[in-house]
A and B are shown apart, each in its own frame.
Chain A
Amino acid sequence: MNETNNEASTGSNRDLSNAADMIVCENVSKWYGDFQALDEVSATIKEQEVVVVLGPSGSGKSTWIRCINRLEQHQEGRIEVDGIELTNDLRNIEKVRSEVGMVFQQFNLFPHLKVIDNVTLAPIWVRKKPRVEAQEQAIALLERVGIPEQADKYPGQLSGGQQQRVAIARALAMEPRIMLFDEPTSALDPEMIKEVLDVMKELALSGMTMMVVTHEVGFAKEVADRIIFMDEGQIVEIGTPETFFTNPVEERSKLFLSQIL
């Protein structure tokens, strides 16, 4: 993180005001039965921006991030990803999903496939890449996340941190323009968290648009361009890491920070 070049740095010290809008959410609402999970959520995420979503459990942050690639359906409002609006139209959903990579809390690797096949499956069948090319790319990606030697193992033979890194490689293999991380380190042992966060930092430095739901305050401080704080399905506060962590505006944010810091 001691890069001085503005191009390769992230965090609140760079100017993204001229970047294009990647994700636009306008008054997005969602209910589970009678329970309102999202309440008029509006936010815009720019290209190359790294946004960390914070909030207590049940505040709707996972639901929101899952709405963005339509794993959940929003019921009101509109979501536009890279200029494509998410509606019931299957073609739009497929287009958006191939633009958006997703990393899950529980990794969700395919246990019956080797690591290399986990990574190449979607490029071959969804992107229609020739097999050889897909495999070369997969090896390169596994090297990027630091585990090329595990290519011929099954996910069950890897540690949690390694599995999560394979999951990141699998998402990257689709060459997405946006990466969504849904609590990527919550299911990991403390000593494995760092290896996953390092990969995510490297990804942020490379200019990927990222939206990260996490409880890792250190990561948020270091990498995020903006922090979005949510509670009870609403966005409570949006700000740069500096202002949010040192000088939050809302009472709710202060209470949350006092409990986690």
Chain B
Amino acid sequence: MSDFNVTSAEGTVSIKPPPETPKLPPRLWIKENLFSSPFNVFLTIASTGILLILGRGLLSFIFSHERQWGSTATNLRLLMTQAYPEEQYMRVWVCVGVIFTLTGLSMAVWNAGSRVALRRLGSFLLSTGVVIDILTLLAPFSSSATIIWLCVGTGISLFGGSLVKFSDEDKTMSVLTVTVIALAGAILSLWVVPYGHHSFVFERTPRSLAEAGTVALTTKLPWTIMLLIGIVAYFAGKAIREKVSQNVLRVSVLTIWFLAPPALLYLVLRDPDFDMGHVLNTDIPIFLVFAAVGAGLLFWLTRPTAGELGKVIAAITLLIGFGSFLTPMRMIIRILILLLAIFAISAPTFAGDTQTRRRYSLGWIGVSGVTCWLVTAINTPSTVEVPGSFFIGGVSLTLLIAIFTIVISFPLGILLALGRTSTMPIFRILCTWFIEFVRGIPLITILIFFSIMFPMFLPKEMEIGEVASIVIGYSLFSSAYLAENVRGGLQSVTRGQHEAADAVGMTTPQKTLFIVLPQALRVSIPPLVSHCIGVFKETSLLAIIGLFDILYIARNVIPNQTEFLGSVRENLLFVCLIYWILSYQMSKASQRLERRVGLGER
């Protein structure tokens, strides 16, 4: 399709390039931008002064002799995963490894990373070095530390300066390479620089230990391996990209990303103790029956000529699904019937030729398989014994709850928004009431309700973990807000788009799926991302209901250790840093996404 002979109407017209804007030398730039008028001179001097005072304050706080940074360094593992047993720690590294692999793969598949001119990189390093030097002079360091830091800062500036001076005008480097080099440098420094070895030793009583020397092997070795895994995955992804079709590759990588959180949580971190006999004679037969019957039914339903009979059969499936709650049976069967009903109802929307129908049926087999597998894994007891109610805490718990909440509340929020703007009065009223009700309740109330009271409302034979019920509550809360963001986007889709879709004969689901939602979601990216960042940060409220999230550990656990009594401030600062890094990454990702989907905007 791409090999058309492009003949422009203008023919060959000599194009006059726009005049070049001259690049000012630094001295002139400073004069023009910072000292252009007496008032600007005053503003520049005053704000520089304020910045220096603030910087000095922060540095004196960080490098004061009263700070016990050992409390953070020693408790890093506690802050990250809380009480996950030491001898099973390999599992945590496997999870991190999977994430690195996927990241590397995705970078290759989506061809991520722009290129940066070496000169720009050089001037960035130059200014970074200067900032380090200034901060070093401000900080209350001992003279030897001052000299070391000054050397580091000057070294960086010199390197940056030489890049600016000696590299070609248009020589570029991929941002990805720069990032990997920086990461590799940081990890290499773990092997070389004597940061000191902080950990607890358990002889008779737990006792903190800070040895001289480089970081412990149990930290630096896994991180080195992680980096290597990421790089290998990247090149593997590049190799695969040449051979497999882009769409197939992207869809499968995305699917793995979505399956990774539940799979890692329930299969790797918990290590379920499967009862193979039960799996063989109950779970697998149930899956096989549903996969075969469902695939056949869906293949038949997606015929373009299925018509009214197909709709009736889909409705009957849904009724059987609801009816199944009246008689005792395995939960997995009910879930599968309901899932099949959803597939059957949406079948006419996706009807098409044999290939499309086969794909739809295969999609059902995949979804039912994953569902069976997860339900079995969730219901099997864990072999990993941990103290406390939940087996991880700290950053892992924060991330776990944030990721699950965001992933669950996204489809829920979109459905609520569609319901609220729907023409069907019952849906509209229900969704509006739900949204208005949930938005009127403080999050903390919902969290308390779901952690304490929700389990009491469940039927007798059902049990649900505290974390699971909190995720349910938090998702409901988040979806109400998300729905309002999406609704804003839905309203921005013009009437002409609806009419154009109607005029070519699309049904309402098709119109919503192919025309309205893509445009609405694109418009709502900025509010949706700030919502996600909000969800992530507000997990800190979990501290109030006594879950061991990172804030709770920093505020209540570490300051109570006999070694580090009262060391709250260091840890809070560290928590701030972690929250900031992760939120900033989300914000950067959203900016990239915006630029990417901005393509073809009117």
Q: CB within 8 Å of B: which residues of A?
A: 69, 71, 94, 97-98, 100-102, 104, 106, 108-112, 114, 116, 121-122, 124-126, 128-131, 135, 139, 148-149, 151-157, 170-171, 174
Residues of chain B with a CB closer than 8 A to A94's CB: 505, 507
Q: Are A112 and B600 in contact (CB under 8 A)?
A: yes
Pick the interface stretch among B3-11, B190-198, B218-226, B461-469. B3-11
Q: Are A128 and B352 in contact (CB under 8 A)?
A: yes
Q: Are B504 and A126 in contact (CB under 8 A)?
A: yes
Q: Are B601 and A156 in contact (CB under 8 A)?
A: yes
The CA-CA distance from A166 to B196 in the complex, in Å, is 68
B273 close to A (CB within 8 Å): no
One of B7, B350, B499 near A71 (C-beta < 8 A): B499
Assuming the contacts A122-B505, A156-B601, asked whether A151 and B515 have C-beta atoms less than 8 A apart, the reply is no
Most chain A beta-carbon contacts within 10 A, residue among B494, B503, B510: B503
The CA-CA distance from A126 to B304 in the complex, in Å, is 9
Q: Are A139 and B600 in contact (CB under 8 A)?
A: no
Determine how close the nearest CB of chain A comes to the CB of B519; give it in whole angstroms. 5
One of B304, B507, B515, B601 near A110 (C-beta < 8 A): B515
Residues of chain A with a CB closer than 8 A to B329's CB: none
The CA-CA distance from A137 to B501 in the complex, in Å, is 19
The CA-CA distance from A104 to B496 in the complex, in Å, is 8
Q: Are A97 and B353 in contact (CB under 8 A)?
A: no
The CA-CA distance from A129 to B351 in the complex, in Å, is 10
Interface of B is mostly: loop
The CA-CA distance from A98 to B304 in the complex, in Å, is 14
One of A110, A149, A153, A174 near B7 (C-beta < 8 A): A149
Q: Which of B340-356 contact A (CB under 8 A)?
A: 349-353, 355
One of A152, A153, A174 near B504 (C-beta < 8 A): A174
Q: Are B519 and A112 in contact (CB under 8 A)?
A: yes
- Given A98-B505, A110-B497, 7 other A-B residues pairs in contact with their CB atoms under 8 A: A104-B500, A111-B601, A126-B505, A131-B353, A149-B6, A156-B600, A174-B505
Per-residue 0/1 for B471-509: is the Cβ within 8 Å of any A Cβ (1 yes, 0 no)? 000000000000000000000001011011111111100
Assuming the contacts A148-B4, A156-B601, asked whether A129 and B353 have C-beta atoms less than 8 A apart, the reply is yes
One of A130, A151, A155 near B4 (C-beta < 8 A): A151
Residues of chain B with a CB closer than 8 A to A108's CB: 494, 496-497, 499-500
Residues of chain A with a CB closer than 8 A to B494's CB: 108
One of A116, A126, A135 near B510 (C-beta < 8 A): A126
Assuming the contacts A97-B505, A125-B510, asked whether A152 and B353 have C-beta atoms less than 8 A apart, the reply is no
Q: Which of B348-399 contact A (CB under 8 A)?
A: 349-353, 355
Per-residue 0/1 for B569-602: is the Cβ within 8 Å of any A Cβ (1 yes, 0 no)? 0000000000000000000000000000001111
Q: Are B600 and A157 in contact (CB under 8 A)?
A: yes
Determine how close the nearest CB of chain B comes to the CB of A120; give it in whole angstroms. 11
Residues of chain A with a CB closer than 8 A to B2's CB: 152
Q: Are A112 and B504 in contact (CB under 8 A)?
A: no
- Leading 8 A-B pairs by shortest Cβ distance: A154-B600, A108-B500, A122-B504, A98-B505, A102-B503, A108-B496, A128-B304, A97-B505
